[in-house]
Chain A
Amino acid sequence: MTTMAAGAGAQDTTAHEADFDAAVAADERIEPRDWMPDAYRATLVRQIAQHAHSEIIGMQPEANWITRAPSLRRKAILMAKVQDEAGHGLYLYSAAETLGTGRDELLDKLHSGRQKYSSIFNYPTLTWADVGAIGWLVDGAAITNQVPLCRCSYGPYARAMVRICKEESFHQRQGYELLLALSRGTEAQHAMAQDAVDRWWWPSLMMFGPPDAESAHSAQSMAWKIKRHSNDELRQRFVDICVPQAASLGLTLPDPGLRWNEERGRHDFGAIDWTEFQEVLRGNGPCNDQRIGQRRRAHEEGAWVREAAAAYAAKHGKATA
């Protein structure tokens, strides 16, 4: 276990803090056994857990279409993607566990609503095209957010992100390719793709979090090099990437305020409905109850299986399956 500040004298803490600050300033990685400020540890647990929960809850909107995928190739791609998400959840819970917490405890906090997951997964997948829109926009936004995390100051998180980002980029290309096939397909398929992009565009922009002025954790996280760029900067980057991609998809983005700003060399875009964002965060989005309900149910209905594995391990002295 790591040497916690508890029990150490005030002077020791100050010395530790100076070492920690110097390591962060020098872009060195903080590792599980290194001293770290309690607040740094708490912030990382919160962020990594929320990230892990998002992977797990995020399986649901896509798994919703596994049994209805319209071709065997698409079905295989979608199954592989949902499987990857479970795997990402596992990496991230492991990264969180290096900070002295346990997966069971984190899942318990998810199930009781004490820890959050990304608000985007509270939106429903209503057509097959939503699977493509999630890949292109939601995974695209996630990658924009997560690539800088590969350089995060906390080593285990940064290393998990390197692996996750590789797979996410692959998913994002697959989502784009799915939408392209629809966009170039029949009239009905094209309309399905456009409708999905219309519904997922704004929620994707909300994935970057509140505007910089209202972001509670941003300044501290940037000082600790957990975060490398502000919410608004990443959101802008994402918009600039998506506009030409939408054009090559032959689809439009549902924002009349979207236009190139020659002076800034970036796109201007319309105002985000932050009321909707807050409502979804508060649990009042379209699928909040459904998502958490399914997660709880899977956990509760699986309790006897986990108990069986534990009882077997106790009898036979082996790790569980």
Chain B
Amino acid sequence: MNGASVTVGEAPLATAALALGDDALVLSHRLGEWAGHAPVLEEEVALANIALDLLGQARTLLSLAGDEDELAYLREERSFRNAQLVEQPNGDFARTIARQLFFSIHQHLLYGQLAAGDGPFAPLAGKAVKEVAYHRDHAEQWTLRLGDGTEESHARMQSALDGLWRYTGELFEPVEGLAVDRAALREGWLAAVTEVVERATLRMPDGPQTGAWTAGAGRQGIHTESFGRMLAEMQHLHRSHPGASW
């Protein structure tokens, strides 16, 4: 192991496993940053719980593509395949909840489809879909409370939804090796998000879902600026001790 980088299989299974695995790994990491900073003790427990579920999914998925630690710690930014949405900084609690809402509804529908099929991801999805149902409920419940809470929480939640909207289109771009009905995914996602957002007395964001970058950029290893810094922190210790086991 030279510690510099690691090559990844190009097979469609590996490509798809990395896309899903990196989504879970990176979002888990972001949620881990909340530890000790949450607005209420119950949320320390909940956010850590979700982070742990996602990390568990990431480990299973990355192991389908190679060695989990090599893939997590020795790939450089341009080799990560996660959607840009999950790497977005935590921001305030509303921003974190908006990110969770967009992602967990997507993941819930996606894993539902995968679990129902007989592809290589069916066993993982069948187990994870129960965890993700909880994540989705948590995000929806908080969207309602923040949206329909105080004037301040309403404004913050709206601003969070608006700010992250441009990163949502990428969730529905094709991923090689992932056999899903993307049109149904997109339709189901939009309906579910709209329902919660309206019930929370908020309005749906109206900008483009692709922002300045072409959709699918994260899946091609094109990330946003904060991601490199996140990886620097995540990988530093592992890279400082090449070949060591922990």
Contact = CB atoms under 8 A, between A and B. Distances in A.
B191 interface: no
Interface in B1-52: 25, 29, 32-33, 35-45, 48-49, 51-52
Interface in B107-139: 138
B42 A294 contact: no
B227 interface: no
Interface of B: 25, 29, 32-33, 35-45, 48-49, 51-52, 55-56, 58-59, 62, 68-69, 72-73, 92-93, 138, 141-142, 144-146, 148-150, 152-153, 156, 233-234, 236-238, 241, 243-246
A320 B46 CA distance: 14
B145 A71 contact: no
A289 to B, nearest CB: 15
Residue among A83, A178, A302, A305 facing the most chain B CB atoms (10 A cut-off): A305
B48 A86 contact: yes
Interface in A8-64: 56, 59-60, 63
A70 interface: yes
B38 to A, nearest CB: 7
Contacts of B68: 72
Contacts of B233: 67-68
Interface stretch (A183-191, A257-265, A272-280): A183-191
A80 B182 CA distance: 34
Given A68-B236, A72-B25, A301-B92, 12 more contacts: A59-B44, A60-B36, A70-B73, A75-B55, A79-B52, A82-B44, A302-B38, A302-B40, A303-B39, A312-B145, A315-B148, A321-B142
A305 B148 CA distance: 12
Nearest to A67: B233
Interface string A173-203: 0000010011001101100000000000000
B36 A298 contact: yes
Contacts of A303: 39
B39 A298 contact: yes
A312 B39 contact: no
Please name the 5 residue pairs, one residue from A and one from B, whose CB atoms are nearest each other, closest first. Answer: A302-B39, A308-B149, A308-B153, A83-B48, A86-B44
Contacts of B41: 56, 86, 89-90, 93
12 contacts: A66-B32, A70-B241, A71-B69, A72-B69, A82-B36, A189-B241, A294-B36, A299-B39, A302-B39, A302-B93, A304-B153, A304-B156
A74 interface: yes
Chain A: interface size category: 35 or more
Contacts of B148: 312, 315-316
A128 interface: yes
A309 B138 CA distance: 13
Given A301-B39, A321-B141, A79 B48 contact: yes
Contact of A186 (B33, B142, B146, B244): B244
Considering residues A178, A303, A312, which has the most beta carbons from chain B within 10 angstroms of its beta carbon? A312
Interface centre among B29, B62, B92, B145 (most CB of A within 10 A): B145
A94 to B, nearest CB: 11
B36 A63 contact: yes
Contact of B39 (A70, A76, A306): A306
Given A70-B238, A71-B246, A294-B37, A307 B141 contact: no
A79 B55 contact: yes
Contacts of A82: 35-36, 44, 48
B149 A307 contact: yes
A191 to B, nearest CB: 11
A306 B148 CA distance: 13
A87 interface: yes
B241 A305 contact: no
Interface in A278-321: 294, 297-299, 301-312, 315-316, 320-321
B127 to A, nearest CB: 16
Contact of A308 (B38, B42, B73, B145): B145
A63 B38 CA distance: 12
B52 A181 contact: no
A66 B234 CA distance: 9
A311 B59 contact: no
A186 B245 CA distance: 9
Nearest to B239: A70
Contacts of A188: 241, 244
Interface string A194-233: 0000000000000000000000000000000000000000
B150 A298 contact: no
B48 to A, nearest CB: 4
